[in-house]
A = this chain, B = another copy of it.
Amino acid sequence: MASTESLSQSFSALSIKPAASVSHKETSSPAEWKEALKSNPDAPGDFELIKTLVFKPKTAKNATPVPLVVIAREETETNSGALGKKLNLKELRLASEDLLKEFFNLDKNSLSPLALDENTFPRVVTVVDSSIANSSSVFALHAQSSSSTIFLSGKDIVSYLRHLEKEDLKVHEIDFEALKSETSAPAPAAQKAAPEKKKKEDAKIEGAIEIAIGVKKEVDFAAWYTNVLLKADMLDYYSVSGCYILKPWSYTIWESIQEWFNARIKEMGVENAYFPMFVSSKVLEREKDHIEGFSPEVAWVTRAGQSDLEEPIAIRPTSETAMYPYYSKWIKSHRDLPLKLNQWNSVVRWEFKSPQPFLRTREFLWQEGHTAHLTKAEAEQEVLEILDLYRRVYEELLAVPVIPGIKSEKEKFAGGLYTTTIEGFIPTSGRGIQAATSHCLGQNFSRPEMFNIMVEDPNDPTGRGKVYVWQNSWGLSTRTIGVMVMVHGDNQGLVLPPRVAGIQAVVVPCGITAKATDEERKRINDACLDLEKTLKKAGVKAKADLRDGYTPGYKFNDWEQKGVPLRLEIGPNDLKKEQTMSVRRDNGAKAPLPLADIQTAVPKLLETIQSDMFTRAKEIYDSRVKLVTDWKDFVPTLDAKCVVAMPWCEEEACEDDIKERSARGSEQTDERAPSAGAKSLAIPFDQSRWPKIISGKTCCPACGRLAKKYTLFGRSY
């Protein structure tokens, strides 16, 4: 963006004289902005807002995108589908905050034509609404910040933009009115080629921009997802790219998971501890296979204050190699076994792929358990016990179905013996997602040339035998929250399963008209407070929303966006009937509930919601796992947003081959979903849902070798 000094130089060179220049509160929507200006005494009495939209066209995977900047009057309808067609740019999407930051170092609320300068103009395509130039209006533009505004004439805006032009770099003036009629004319060939684009347009939900989600889940899933997170107040973007702020509304879900999981692992004899976040490079690099999996993503501290450190120090990407030297020191006898430690912390993996909140972030919260056992049997039993706890976190708390199984050799944890996993599924994208993993490390880390974690064998009669301990490690992260949002959220926003909701039931006073007396108002408000109290006593996380100055409709929308499982309305009529009108967030079902036994009815209803949410999600997942026995069905099954269950040979070469062939098979590439080729998701423990594999006969449809077990393949996160 242009600095203030260079701006004023340009202005005076171009004889641009702003009508006014004002400071105000930061604003995050056009409505707020307008309001801030209207109440400002230094602003002109009449003005129009300028909107500045940035779109990112579809770009080849590793190419630098060339954003499209559209400058228009607030009122102008800027149809991005038609615009894209005219400019020959594919699949225009509103740019992410990250991209805005990267290109303009501004957020979307601070954008304006003035974000374009000698540096940025050549890197974008600029479109200006042709009706600006000759308008007699005064236009409001942000001056590099959402809290300051400058007022310019349309002529000045265009002349500012024109002065940035170079020989082959022009501003496109577009008449959006004309564009509209151009595209409404029949153009069958073009339409056929772009059904996807047409759908993208449909993604905008009319009139819902301000308080609902704005785009449809089924149409632009990625935009829907971030919108839900922002509007439900779960998350905010952060000034360090790839990192996000977990706001209380999402953090409380993590606290519920922590509480539940902590109680259960403590019953198993696991103790919590805390190891430092730093790992010396020597220690980190001890296990070759293991570190290979992480080294490109390790963040290094090299300086403290003004001093360079003698040796760079890593921030843990996971703690195996940081912890196990101490396991070696602490475990001296079989009496010290089992050793079962867990820590709740954050780890850092500096991914260079595009980040996605909760699913792929550079720092994330998780727990990592690390245990050591005398026998393989004991270690293996624990691996499965933990995996089952993970399954229950998803299924019983988050109402998200998962399939437990084992990872292929290619997909297992680097350096471990084998990895068990629970695999989730996102129906909207048709992609699998690794929900949590529990690894049996075997003796790979304990053997003498590694960490040498060894005891004398208590079962050896000679007293000379040694045992290298059997180790496990297992982790569950805040990815849980992202999966839950993707599975349950809808076009009204978040849908929370009752067991993890920060508020389970919101009580909203209704039917208070402008003519209502203070007494009537008070009677209804008091009834709401009473209901809150009664429910809290019954163990329900309830809240009466008595905010003044908001309509019931506003409140309904607000709590729907935030996913509160149950709304209870109380109006004059309900009071008369001694009831409350309940509205379920998950399916919209409305039913009056008598206040008399509300303390049992609401908890029961919440449990019903919880179980209905799970059942629905499970039915969908089950219906999307498709048996494939012929390779020709493989890619079409993926393209139909399904997971493939296929008898598989379990050969790594075959897996590589499948990935390549299934990537080529599909036209679609989406940079936010990194792997368009299918990989193996899990070899499910429960093989009984498919026809028996006949040993020596059933073949792998991908390579023709003999199949071992049914394996799930899918595109995945």
Q: Which residues of A contact B (CB under 8 A)?
A: 25-26, 28, 32, 39, 41, 147, 236, 238-240, 243-248, 251-252, 254-255, 271-280, 282-283, 295-307, 312-313, 315, 325-326, 328-330, 332, 335, 341, 345-346, 348, 350, 352, 362-363, 365, 452, 454-456, 463-464, 547
Query: With A296-B305, A301-B299, A305-B297 in contact, do A239 and B283 touch (Cβ < 8 Å)?
Result: yes
In contact, B299 and A274 (Cβ under 8 angstroms): no
Task: Determine the chain B residues whose CB is within 8 A of the CB of A278 once the complex forms.
Answer: 240, 243, 362-363
In contact, B147 and A276 (Cβ under 8 angstroms): no
Task: Determine the chain B residues whose CB is within 8 A of the CB of A456 once the complex forms.
Answer: 25
CB nearest neighbor in B for A454:
B25
Q: Is the interface of A mostly helix, strand, loop or mixed?
A: mixed
What are 27 of the A-B contact pairs (CB < 8 Å)?
A25-B332, A26-B332, A26-B452, A28-B329, A39-B464, A41-B464, A147-B452, A236-B329, A239-B280, A239-B325, A240-B276, A243-B278, A248-B272, A251-B273, A251-B274, A254-B274, A277-B346, A277-B348, A278-B362, A299-B304, A300-B301, A301-B301, A303-B312, A304-B352, A305-B350, A307-B352, A335-B547
In contact, B275 and A245 (Cβ under 8 angstroms): yes
Task: Determine the chain B residues whose CB is within 8 A of the CB of A236 once the complex forms.
Answer: 326, 329-330
Task: Determine the chain B residues whose CB is within 8 A of the CB of A273 once the complex forms.
Answer: 245-248, 251
Task: Determine the chain B residues whose CB is within 8 A of the CB of A271 once the complex forms.
Answer: 248, 251-252
Expressed in whole angstroms, the minimum distance between the Cβ of A103 and any Cβ of chain B is: 14
Expressed in whole angstroms, the minimum distance between the Cβ of A31 and any Cβ of chain B is: 12
Q: Which 5 A-B pairs have the closest CB atoms?
A: A304-B350, A248-B271, A243-B276, A296-B305, A246-B274
In contact, B305 and A303 (Cβ under 8 angstroms): no
Expressed in whole angstroms, the minimum distance between the Cβ of A41 and any Cβ of chain B is: 8
Within the assembled complex, what's the spacing in Å between the Cα atoms of A98 and B270? 30
Expressed in whole angstroms, the minimum distance between the Cβ of A503 and any Cβ of chain B is: 12
Query: With A240-B280, A273-B245 in contact, do A304 and B297 touch (Cβ < 8 Å)?
Result: yes
In contact, B245 and A274 (Cβ under 8 angstroms): yes
Starting from the known contacts A26-B332, A298-B305, 7 additional A-B residue pairs (CB-CB under 8 Å) come to: A240-B279, A248-B272, A251-B272, A252-B271, A276-B363, A277-B346, A278-B363
CB nearest neighbor in B for A145:
B452
Expressed in whole angstroms, the minimum distance between the Cβ of A539 and any Cβ of chain B is: 16
Task: Determine the chain B residues whose CB is within 8 A of the CB of A254 once the complex forms.
Answer: 274
Of B239, B275, B298, B463, the residue contacting A238 (CB under 8 A) is: B275
Taken together, the copies of this chain in the complex come to 2
Within the assembled complex, what's the spacing in Å between the Cα atoms of A205 and B312? 42
Within the assembled complex, what's the spacing in Å between the Cα atoms of A274 and B243? 11
Task: Determine the chain B residues whose CB is within 8 A of the CB of A341 once the complex forms.
Answer: 248
In contact, A299 and B295 (Cβ under 8 angstroms): no
Task: Determine the chain B residues whose CB is within 8 A of the CB of A239 once the complex forms.
Answer: 279-280, 282-283, 325
Query: With A272-B248, A273-B248 in contact, do A298 and B302 touch (Cβ < 8 Å)?
Result: no
Task: Determine the chain B residues whose CB is within 8 A of the CB of A252 once the complex forms.
Answer: 271-272
CB nearest neighbor in B for A282:
B239
In contact, B332 and A32 (Cβ under 8 angstroms): yes
Within the assembled complex, what's the spacing in Å between the Cα atoms of A350 and B301? 11
Within the assembled complex, what's the spacing in Å between the Cα atoms of A9 and B374? 40
Task: Determine the chain B residues whose CB is within 8 A of the CB of A312 once the complex forms.
Answer: 303
Task: Determine the chain B residues whose CB is within 8 A of the CB of A362 once the complex forms.
Answer: 278
Task: Determine the chain B residues whose CB is within 8 A of the CB of A274 once the complex forms.
Answer: 245-246, 251, 254, 346, 365
Task: Determine the chain B residues whose CB is within 8 A of the CB of A246 once the complex forms.
Answer: 273-275
Expressed in whole angstroms, the minimum distance between the Cβ of A238 and any Cβ of chain B is: 5
Expressed in whole angstroms, the minimum distance between the Cβ of A322 and any Cβ of chain B is: 8
CB nearest neighbor in B for A239:
B280
CB nearest neighbor in B for A342:
B248
Task: Determine the chain B residues whose CB is within 8 A of the CB of A305 once the complex forms.
Answer: 295-298, 350
CB nearest neighbor in B for A305:
B296
Task: Determine the chain B residues whose CB is within 8 A of the CB of A238 once the complex forms.
Answer: 275-276
Within the assembled complex, what's the spacing in Å between the Cα atoms of A126 and B279? 33
Task: Determine the chain B residues whose CB is within 8 A of the CB of A301 once the complex forms.
Answer: 299-302, 315
CB nearest neighbor in B for A237:
B326
Within the assembled complex, what's the spacing in Å between the Cα atoms of A315 and B362? 13
Task: Determine the chain B residues whose CB is within 8 A of the CB of A303 once the complex forms.
Answer: 299-300, 302, 312
CB nearest neighbor in B for A243:
B276
Within the assembled complex, what's the spacing in Å between the Cα atoms of A245 and B316? 14
Task: Determine the chain B residues whose CB is within 8 A of the CB of A255 once the complex forms.
Answer: 272
Task: Determine the chain B residues whose CB is within 8 A of the CB of A299 once the complex forms.
Answer: 301, 303-304
CB nearest neighbor in B for A455:
B25
Task: Determine the chain B residues whose CB is within 8 A of the CB of A304 once the complex forms.
Answer: 297-300, 350, 352
* Of listed A240, A313, A326, residue having the most chain B CB within 10 A: A240
* Of listed A254, A305, A352, A452, residue having the most chain B CB within 10 A: A305
Task: Determine the chain B residues whose CB is within 8 A of the CB of A326 once the complex forms.
Answer: 236, 245
Within the assembled complex, what's the spacing in Å between the Cα atoms of A312 and B313? 14
Task: Determine the chain B residues whose CB is within 8 A of the CB of A300 once the complex forms.
Answer: 301-304
Task: Determine the chain B residues whose CB is within 8 A of the CB of A298 once the complex forms.
Answer: 304-305
Within the assembled complex, what's the spacing in Å between the Cα atoms of A278 and B297? 15
CB nearest neighbor in B for A302:
B302
Task: Determine the chain B residues whose CB is within 8 A of the CB of A350 once the complex forms.
Answer: 304-305
* Of listed A273, A276, A329, A454, residue having the most chain B CB within 10 A: A276
Task: Determine the chain B residues whose CB is within 8 A of the CB of A302 once the complex forms.
Answer: 300-303
